Structure 1
Amino acid sequence: MAAVCCVLLLGAPAVATAAAPPAADARVQQHEQRGRGTLVSAEKLYTLATPQAVSTELGAAGFDDDTVRHGVVAYRLIYRTVDAYGQPTTASGLFVLPLTSEGRLRTVSFAHGTGSHKDDSPSMQRARFVSAPVIAHAAAGAAAVAPDYLGMGKGPGLHPWMDIDSETTASLDMLRAARAFAPRTGHVLEREVMVTGFSQGASAALGLGRALQAGEDRWFGLGALAPVSGAYDFGGAELPALLAGRLEPKSSVLYAAYTLVAFNRLHHLYDSPGEVFRAPYDSTVEALFDGAHTGEQLMRGTPGALDELLTEHGRTLLAQPTGPLAEALRATDAVCTDWTPRAPVRLYMARGDEQAVTDNTEHCRTALLRNGVDVPVVDLGDVDYHGSRHLGSNVAATSSIVRWFGELRRR
């Protein structure tokens, strides 16, 4: 989830590693055999040499500067990972470091919200909505890592939207690439990763946290989790709210279209677009999600109401998922239900969110409580970013999360 409707938006000494937990050995060996996380290239993108320069850029993006202590330098990393079918591919991401003499840095991973164009990703934008949180964490003294996801940024192919497994592998392998590159800058990344993410990235953050806690990397572990405004119960809360008209209408149209197109690519929900999309959109809507169309083009190329977009079968498919879609949604919605975090967790949300209904957050909290973890929910209040509370929650949460992660490291 996120800003699809509104923002459309190498040679140093090796660091000693610790042995992985026995349960993770097979997964660790598998990633090593495939070269996952191997750094392909690193490109310096920009330097904000002073705290004042960082403050200016964050302010221009609409973000607070109250946690800025350092200038930063930003890199685009391209690295080896696997696609949604487990086959070798490459992906890109943003790696931002503070300009500090401190050699050992806490590690923060930020997962961004929804975009349609490949450029709607952190390594492709400078101090904009999707990259400002990464810069903010680095300016507070952290090594900030942000995957672009598969098919976004410089990655080949199409983006498998809301596919938690591939978001997790892309995020984990981006951390590995960042760790490999960091010594070239005079830094070493701490083992505990502070994980956060917004909207689509909130679910991705939980997926990464689950993998880190399970020992799927020999070095990194989970330090804390702070997801923001996620669609954690995509099948049980988000889609019903969308179909009931509880979301902003254009957001409903775009998310319904993205769901059917993206999930069909992986799970084969329909044989022909005409089964789920009304004319004339049945012949145009799939192409809008090819990574080359902008948010503005998406807005112009889709109708203003769900009934103009969906056939009766398309609506029924989303309202009463069966078969491959039901199975895929169970996997997507398991980020809060099938594990028990042992690290500190906070769930951030904004009451009145017009894109990710807050039932998602409540359902996630309830599921975690059922698993024995009482997670606090932080209501960010009446927030706004260009008329959106959903987008405003990312802005408002950023400073709060930067401060919380800093407090946890000092304990």
Structure 2
Amino acid sequence: MTVFAVPAPPAVRPRSRRLRAPLAALCCALLLGGSAATAAVAVPPLAHTQAQHQGRGTLVSADKLYTLATPGDVADELAAAGFDGAAARHGVVAYRLVHRTVDARNRPTTASGLFVLPLTDERRLRAVSFAHGTGSHKIDSPSMQRAAFVAAPVIAHAAAGAVGVAPDYLGMGTGPGPHPWMDIDSETTASLDLLRAARAFAPRTGHTLARDVMVTGFSQGASAALGLGRALEAGEDRWFRLGALAPVSGAYDFGGTELPALFAGGDVGPKAAVIYAAYTLVAFDRLHPVYDSPGEVFDEAEDIEKLFDGVHTGQQLMAGLPDTLDELLTDRGRALLEHPAGALADALRTTDAVCTDWVPEAPVRLYMASGDEQAVTANTEHCRAALHRNGVDTPVVDLGAVDHQGSRHLGSNVAATSAIVRWFGELRTR
């Protein structure tokens, strides 16, 4: 593992400086096949009442999910998900929090997330917010699974002594409606509102949350983490502030780097390229007028959108999509992705701001894996260079040729989790 030019944390944290730099495009890498050895937690449907639509971040419900009483129990849980539990110092208890928030169109809604508390006598605890990678089913989210890839980093941070907080995102977990994939604004509001709900809930467990929040995220969550960090440094919450930021394997330059890589051959795996292309068109069209009908962009028009309804599993998604981009896309669909125009281009420019239009004051590290077959590593260099132009020397941690289930992309999350737990712990003691 190589770390370059690690800066010392600043003594003061003024609000971040938002820039008006030209925008490019951004998104996040897709999580494929990362949920081995999982067990879904059954959840009753949530009744939506008038009261639930008042007060962003207001806690609606808190349900205890499970307890891992000892560090050994935590290590076993992490090992079942393919993660290292050697750093576990505490047992943990996990809850699902449901809270009020707003959707991608700023309408009142609810969302859920995972809250994991270390079993410790220390009263005042610092929170670590972890944003997870992409899944296709509502249960592909931290509060819905046990011994799972998607929840393991949250547990690892809690077992090291922090409060682990992980949004399920809108439309995932118990949240209603479809998930607005790659929409940084709604990922940010869901993440921030879960932190607010966590702060309200913590005293019921005998603890309080400190002001500084350590923020991390993987794949899709890398961009979500940057969005949350930006919001915290901009003062969007009166209590919380950014302590440090550690995104992992994001596709930060989606339009300029990631989308071209889908068509380059070899940079992104062919099936991953098909899933990325399909999900990009479907998800963006839900919020923006990208196409008039699915038949404009997809050869199998009637079936493609149904696969991204939040009910189909990752396996069904893989089986239901063709194996090549030529089989998936019409000429119009291919042209839109190769040369984004109109509403799609506008949306991509808006989404890209997480690396380009602000100057982080808190310490930042970007984590990546050599040979990542989903989020090509040029994305990380793009983000590092953008921050450098804004006056921030951001170290890049190259985790090397790591592997999880045959994927370096997934392996980066496993390796980075241990590294980030250590780094956040070092910052905590300063």
> What is the TM-score of this pair, normalised by structure 1?
0.93
Where in structure 2 are the equivalents of 1:201-220 lying within 5 Å? 201-220=221-240
- Other-structure match for 1:277: 298
Where in structure 2 are the equivalents of 1:285-300 lying within 5 Å? 285-300=304-319
- Consecutive aligned runs of 4 or more in structure 1 exceeding 3 Å deviation: 1-4
Q: Does 1:187 align with 2:214?
A: no
Higher relative CO (Cα under 8 Å, sequence separation at least 6) belongs to 2
- Other-structure match for 1:368: 387
Q: Partners of 1:324 and 1:293 in 2: how far apart?
A: 27
Which segments of 5 or more consecutive residues in structure 1 lack a partner in the other structure? 10-32
- Other-structure match for 2:345: 326
CA contact (8 A) 1:383 1:393 kept: yes
SS in 1 for 2:423: helix
Kindly report the root-mean-square deviation, in angstroms, between the aligned alpha carbons of the 2 structures: 1.0
CA contact (8 A) 1:105 1:190 kept: yes
SS in 1 for 2:258: helix
SS in 2 for 1:110: strand
Q: Report % sequence identity.
A: 78
- Other-structure match for 2:111: 91
Tell me which of 328, 349, 354 is aligned to 1:335: 354
Q: Following TM superposition, by how much is the alpha carbon of 1:344 offset from its aligned partner in structure 2, in angstroms?
A: 0.3
Q: Following TM superposition, by how much is the alpha carbon of 1:3 offset from its aligned partner in structure 2, in angstroms?
A: 5.1
Q: Following TM superposition, by how much is the alpha carbon of 1:7 offset from its aligned partner in structure 2, in angstroms?
A: 2.5
Q: Following TM superposition, by how much is the alpha carbon of 1:82 offset from its aligned partner in structure 2, in angstroms?
A: 0.1
Q: Following TM superposition, by how much is the alpha carbon of 1:402 offset from its aligned partner in structure 2, in angstroms?
A: 0.5
Aligned residues between the structures: 386
Q: Following TM superposition, by how much is the alpha carbon of 1:244 offset from its aligned partner in structure 2, in angstroms?
A: 1.5
Q: Partners of 2:412 and 2:133 in 1: how far apart?
A: 12
Q: Partners of 1:328 and 1:228 in 2: how far apart?
A: 23
Q: Following TM superposition, by how much is the alpha carbon of 1:127 offset from its aligned partner in structure 2, in angstroms?
A: 2.5
- Other-structure match for 2:179: 159
Where in structure 2 are the equivalents of 1:52-201 lying within 5 Å? 52-201=72-221
Tell me which of 381, 401, 406 is aligned to 2:425: 406
Give a deviation string over 1:107-130, Cα, whole Å, max 9, x none. 100000000000000000112000
Which segments of 5 or more consecutive residues in structure 2 lack a partner in the other structure? 1-27, 37-52
Amino acid at match of 2:125: L
CA contact (8 A) 2:215 2:246 kept: yes
Amino acid at match of 1:272: S
CA contact (8 A) 2:172 2:179 kept: yes
SS in 1 for 2:75: helix
CA contact (8 A) 2:30 2:220 kept: no
Q: Partners of 1:409 and 1:244 in 2: how far apart?
A: 43
- Other-structure match for 1:346: 365
- Other-structure match for 1:19: none
CA contact (8 A) 1:79 1:177 kept: yes
> What is the TM-score of this pair, normalised by structure 2?
0.89
More helix by share: 1
Q: Following TM superposition, by how much is the alpha carbon of 1:327 offset from its aligned partner in structure 2, in angstroms?
A: 1.0
Q: Partners of 1:3 and 1:58 in 2: how far apart?
A: 22
Q: Partners of 2:199 and 2:281 in 1: how far apart?
A: 36
- Other-structure match for 1:382: 401
- Other-structure match for 1:240: 260
SS in 2 for 1:102: coil
CA contact (8 A) 1:234 1:332 kept: no
